[in-house]
Structure 1
Amino acid sequence: MSRLTLLRPLAAALLLASSAGMAAQTPSTSNYDPLQTFAPYVYPQSANAYRASSGMPGPLFWQNHADYQIKASLDPDTRKLTGEEIITYTNHSPDDLDVLWLQVEQNRYRKDARGAFADEAFPTEFTDGEHIASVAIEGASGTLQKAEWVISDTRMQVRLPQPLKAHDGKLRLHISYSYTVPGEFGGRTDVNPSKNGDIFEIAQWYPRMCVYDDLRGWTTDPYLNNEFYLEYGDYDYSVTVPWNMIVVGAGELLNPQDVLTKTELQRLEQARHSDATVMIRSPEEVNDPATRPKQSGTLTWHFRIQNSRDAVFGASKAYVWDAARINLPNGKTALAESAYPVESAGNGAWGRATEYVKASTEYFSKQWYPYPYTVAINEAGSAGGMEYPSITFDAKEAKGSDLHALIAHEIGHTWFPMIVGTDERRNAWMDEGFNTFIDVYEADQFNHGEYAPKRDPEYAPGGGNPADEIVKVLTDPDAPALLSRADQVQEKYRHPVTYFKSAYGLILLREQIIGPERFDPAFRKYIQTWAYKHPGPSDFFRFMESETGEDLGWFWRGWYQHNWQLDMAVQKVTAVDGDWRKGAQVTVANLNKLVMPATLEVVYTDGSKQDIRLPVETWMQHRSYTIRADGNKPVKSVTIDPRHLIPDVDRSNNTFTVK
């Protein structure tokens, strides 16, 4: 084909485009470049044999495993916890390991801890941290061999006498340790007073394995307060406390006959078959010695939780305790429980806590993925709200809608990150934001919308329309991008970005970009596929694209990688050929880097309306575009996004009124 033949169709196409008037002149105020917004997206992590381009685990995906046997005792007078643990660690990786890394997070309370200098407010209470008495490796013959260890801040390196073999090598690590329980909730654990005795919220209470994965090898980030990244395994643990204390712990209580009275056992059995809350230990019984099976010495509470990434417990002689049945898919059940001081009792407060955890667990199980544990426990103390597998620490002062939102959010963390085990230390938005997202719909469902819509500070900080509220984040030049490392996000941005922007991003995907009919099955399959595994951002991005059939690189780039702004405008409205009976020509423009699908509302002079849906592909080649609206009557006005469903930063240019 000759050069002249090639040029003729090109020239004809250029002439047609300019004469048709479909692509309007670029506004002088536009900051939008289609080639930048729609450029091929480069994922943070590359696809390989471990993590496939579909967002699924690859054919060579592996994950290490850690089982724990722990025996601990708590002395409430001295606040000292002493423990012995055996960690059975299995190395499924392709690498021989000559050292093991563990987290010793009680060192967060030392005065020289790195975390003490990372927070905006310097702590007011310190302890002397974690005391490691001994570390030994159990060989294949069962003999113990002392191991060398070195502690650096909240990490401990154990140097192995022989490397742990790749591809299913296994060892047993024996550790003796102790520490003083802090009184200040500087990390995720504390002791706090109540009318009838101290409440101990015990977390980060045992040395635990760091994750070794295919993304970073050993993940040894120091604990600066941005939560956790943990291996999965089975936990068998015992806690010895004074006779008059109640212990609520993660997982199933294995020896109820040893630590409960016959009356309490009967009430618990009743609760297992009751949708209404059953009182196990009433406010009037809290100080009654008869509610304990013995009146001196100690009691040992024995628990087990399987396929979990952590285990924690609460202990107090001040607990009121109630419970009810949770109805799960496929006819299964679990037990909802609440433990709280008498000051928190009453139907306006914690008297409804079990109702809240029951309802939210049932909703999340039906909507997304079945709840995997035998119990779901709310424990009341000074922790504002903190989640663990099958148990949460929640504020004892919370009431009404605030308590419902708190409990739903914290038990919602069962799905993110307890089931889908993301790295909270690096990617907190995949934990807090995803959980806040599912909370939004739970609030709509609970008791016919009793507390709906969800408008706590984690979702809409100012209490208004989320699309308008997020503009405060998008227009803040100092606001970090979602793909920022969690430890770098200042406290002032933690909720607006990590919770709110991440959650609202999924709202946009579900309701505006993809639609529930494609989003919901994909999101459910994402949870199912990555249950008890460790996905990263790229895995989520690839998975949602593959499952929903959408190239979403433009959204990952603008919403997650950057903090780009959206500014859409209606610039001009005219009659076709000067005759409204032939329809209207509406010129719309995208003036900033972010794009979104949007609805264009045409209002006619007789009061009737017409909606036109603009897909994101409108902006793949154009900065502004003229759309033909079919109609046969005069137009009064045209508005883009009339219901404020997308985060437009400047709504002054969203409506064009025909003069």
Structure 2
Amino acid sequence: MSFRPDTKGYRALILGGVASLACVTSGWAATTLPPGQAARAPDVFMPQPMPDRPTAFRSAAGVPGQAFWQNRADYSIDATIHPDTKSLSGQETITYTNNSPDGLDVIWLNLEQNEYKPDSRAQFASDRFSAPRTNGVQIQKVVVEYGGSKRELTPIISDTRMQLRLPTTLRGKGGKMRIHVTWQYVIPGPWGGRTSVTPSKNGDIYEIAQWYPRMAVYDDIRGWDTAPYLAQEFYLEYGNIDYRVTVPWNYTVAGSGTLLNPDTVLTATERKRLSQAAHSDTRVLIRTAQDVTDPASHRHDHGDMTWHFRMENTRDVAFAASPAFIWDAARMNLPATRGVTKGPHLAMSVYPVEGVGPDGWDRSTEYVKHAIEYFSEQWYPYPWQNAINLGGHGAGMEYPGIVFDGMKDHGPQLFWITTHELGHGWFPMIVGSNERRNAFMDEGFNTFIDAYASDHFNHGEFAPKKDNEFAPQTGVPADDIVPLLRDKDAPPLMVPSDLVQERYRHPVTYFKGAYGLKLLREQIVGPERFDRAFRHYIDVWAYHHPTPSDFFRFMSSETGEDLSWFWRGWYFENRAPDYACTGIHATADGYQVTVQNKGSLPIPVTMLLTYADGTTTRQVIPTEAWYQHTAIDLPVRTRGVLRTVTLDPDHAIPDIDRHDNSLRAP
């Protein structure tokens, strides 16, 4: 996701730069080692203990174990938008499958709309005192159905969680229970964050997300994971979600998944245009700007209509509805492989007239198509039929199959925000990490893949990825992150998400989280080994819930490297490399170059030798050079008169002190 500046948040920082960092007192201890002792310090190369031990459920290789299990939640939902009161009501049936070995005597659900209650924990914990206020979600009725009987329960609601105390224990290893919930809530205003209603020239735009009571996760790590919702996104079970949305006749609905009743809600013209889009690599307008103001462009001219969607193997759904929507689409060319919903596959954009323009939303579907096709080819096939970019308030927020961006976004920013939010389809929609606790596995991983997507699009039209609100300091990631590595108050990546102060959330969670993978790929193990391992990680953990321990173990095992020193230095602490060229001496057959390791993160470093005739040679000094030494003497055979030696000439690693990286030969 990305927060917008007008909400006291920030757009996602990117691989190309970090904002200037203001120091705050947060209590994180500095981890700088004394000069001259860095590489010899035992804790640099000792094994890094992981937070979670290997078990029968999760192996030492970072893959699901022989006894791995995961619970499941399938939903059937009927919801109605009430424009007169700007509210949403609904009823749902959850079919919950307990695949754990444990019997469950309570069930927990998430009620994120309670975030907007005046006394919610989020209002205090996340500095959201200016956020909208509502009465939260009103639970009208809860009935559980198990073992052939139904029983109405009185829920126990605590902030954004709802506990159901079951009359009969739900057995483990496949026990199923149906939970029926009836609810309603008032939709927050233009900045609802995740659910909002925003005025536009031709009518209100409803962006509806985190809108229905959703099952909390019960897993092998914590049992029930009931962290309250403090705006740090989600952790949800997978399943199939069948949902119906009832809206006034002149509304268009765009939602996660596949529209199951186009014949009922779309005109013959709209259906024909969709068919054309399914065979076109350029956008086809399904609803035009003229259609928006023409009542005859709708299937009916009075009453309500119900739009029916279904999405399989997903952890969530969201939708948007408005009378103001222009709608265009083009085909996505996806691989025919296992797990991919049968076509046609459509990239779609839905937006009001405020977004129209050759530098604006006219290009949105082009960006959607590229992002989904590129990520599918590079990492893992996109599994669902449609991908939608919605132009509304502009929360910069992702959900399976649909993302919410700003109707007035344009130029490079529209490309970057579209690509970033759609990248979340892989992290955490396919690889379902716990965003509420380990945000770097969500925002960091996604920022990593979407930065490469910027390089790839249209011969680098919008590369490198930048941020409009915060100009890069140098445009070089290795240099831009140095202020963060020097900041003694900056929290490590492994600090729980809710404990990271807002001013550090993007520099640490997004940028450092992404740049760590870039270092791993380009400097430590190389693209060939990294790419294969990362693809395999996605494949192994698709639709499951990996932890940081799983990821660290998996990448070490798959790349064939003991990466303990990197996990410790980059993720558990804030260590940094610092190399120096301290001597050049002539020898009988050439030169001897002395290189010192003064840092605490021994990333491989390139040494550039420049000769008097202008020729150069390069040599990579590997991490293992510092197992036994803090300084090494490297022989250089004569091939001419040596002029200079430069360490890390391309600024490929974040050396925190470059004044001693270059030395001229005597």
* TM-score, length-scaled by structure 1: 0.93
Which of 249, 257, 262 matches 2:255? 249
Residues in 2 aligned to 1:334 and 1:380: alpha-carbon distance in whole angstroms: 20
CA contact (8 A) 2:131 2:191 kept: no
Q: CA deviation at 1:606?
A: 1.9
Matched, 1:71 2:78: yes
Cα contact 1:460–1:466 (8 A) shared by 2: no
Aligned residue type for 2:421: E
Determine if contact 2:116/2:131 at 8 Å carries over to the other structure: no
Distance 2:471 2:359 in 1: 24
Amino acid of the structure 1 residue aligned with 2:255:
G
Q: What are the Cα deviations for residues 410-449 of structure 1, in whole angstroms up to 9, with x where unaligned?
A: 1111110000000000001001111111111111111111
* Separation (CA, whole Å) in 1 of partners of 2:509 and 2:445: 10
**Change in CA separation of 1:63 and 1:251 when aligned onto 2, cut-off 3 Å:** same
| RMSD of aligned residue pairs (Cα, Å) | 1.5
Provide Cα deviations, 1:260-288, integer angstroms capped at 9, x if missing partner: 11100100111111111000011122111
CA contact (8 A) 1:49 1:61 kept: yes
Q: Is the 8 A contact 1:278 1:323 kept in 2?
A: yes
Distance 1:333 1:543 in 2: 35
- TM-score with structure 2 length normalisation? 0.93
Deviations, residues 342-389 of structure 1 (Å, cap 9, x unaligned)? 010112100100010001100100111100000000111113311111
Match of 2:480 in 1: 469
Asked if the contact 1:276/1:324 (under 8 Å) is kept, the reply is: yes
* Distance (whole Å) between structure 2 residues aligned to residue 65 and residue 220 of structure 1: 16
The one of the two structures with greater contact order (alpha-carbon pairs below 8 A, sep at least 6) is: 2
Q: Which moved more, 1:601-610 or 1:534-543?
A: 601-610
Aligned residues: 629
The structure-2 alpha-carbon separation of the partners of 1:301 and 1:374, relative to structure 1 and needing over 3 Å to count, comes to same
Q: Following superposition of structure 1 onto structure 2, how do residues 57-456 of structure 1 map, counting pairs within 5 Å?
A: 57-141=64-148, 143-330=149-336, 333-456=344-467
8 Å CA contact retained: 2:493, 2:570: yes
Which structure: larger Rg?
A: 1
Give 1:592 deviation, angstroms: 1.9
Is 1:520 matched with 2:527? Answer: no
CA deviation map 1:69-126 (0-9, x unaligned):
0001111121111100000000000110000000011100000000000123412420
Unaligned runs of at least 5 residues, structure 2? 1-32, 338-342
Q: Which is richer in helix?
A: 1
CA distance in 2 between partners of 1:367 and 1:498 (Å): 23
Q: Does 1:595 align with 2:602?
A: yes
Equivalent pairs: percent with the same residue?
55
Larger deviation, residues 229-238 vs 619-628: 619-628
2:662 is the counterpart of 1:649: no
How many Å separate the matches in 1 of 2:624 and 2:395? 44
Equivalent residues of 1:459, 1:500 under 8 A apart: no
The equivalent residue for 1:540 is 551
1: CA distance, partners of 2:351 / 2:35: 62
CA deviation string 1:630-650 (max 9, x = no partner):
224221110110000000011
| Pick aligned residue for 1:639 from 623, 639, 646 | 646
Match of 1:606, SS? coil
Q: Report the residue type matching 2:482 in the other structure.
A: V
> Aligned to 1:327, what secondary structure does the other structure show?
coil
Which amino acid is the alignment partner of residue 85 of structure 1? E
| Aligned equivalent of 1:555, options 555, 566, 570 | 566
Q: 1:611 aligns with which of 605, 612, 618?
A: 618
- 1:560-582 per-residue CA deviation (whole Å, 9 max, x = no partner) reads 00011221111111111xx4xx1
Which 4+ residue blocks in structure 1 deviate beyond 4 angstroms? 26-32, 457-461
Q: For 1:562 and 1:111, locate their aligned partners in 2 and report how far apart those are by CA, in whole Å.
A: 37
Moved more, 631-640 or 329-338: 329-338
Q: Which residue of 2 aligns with 1:17?
A: none
Partner of 1:626: 633
State the shift of 1:40 in Å.
Answer: 1.4
Per-residue displacement from partner, 1:314-343 (whole Å, max 9, x unpaired)?
000000100000001138651111100101
Q: CA deviation at 1:31?
A: 4.9
1:134-185, Cα deviation, whole Å (9 max, x unpaired): 11111332x4211231000000000100010011010000000000000043
Q: Distance in 2 between matches of 1:412 and 1:41?
A: 30
Aligned to 2:53: 46
Aligned with 1:564 (options 567, 575, 580): 575
* TM-aligned CA distance change 1:427 to 1:28, over 3 Å: closer
Displacement, 1:33? 3.7
Contact kept, 8 Å, 2:35 with 2:599, in 1: the verdict is no
Secondary structure of the structure 2 residue equivalent to 1:384: strand
Letter in 2 for 1:596: I
- Distance change in 2, residues 1:458/1:644 (3 Å): farther
Partner Cα separation in structure 2 for residue 172 and residue 212 of structure 1: 16
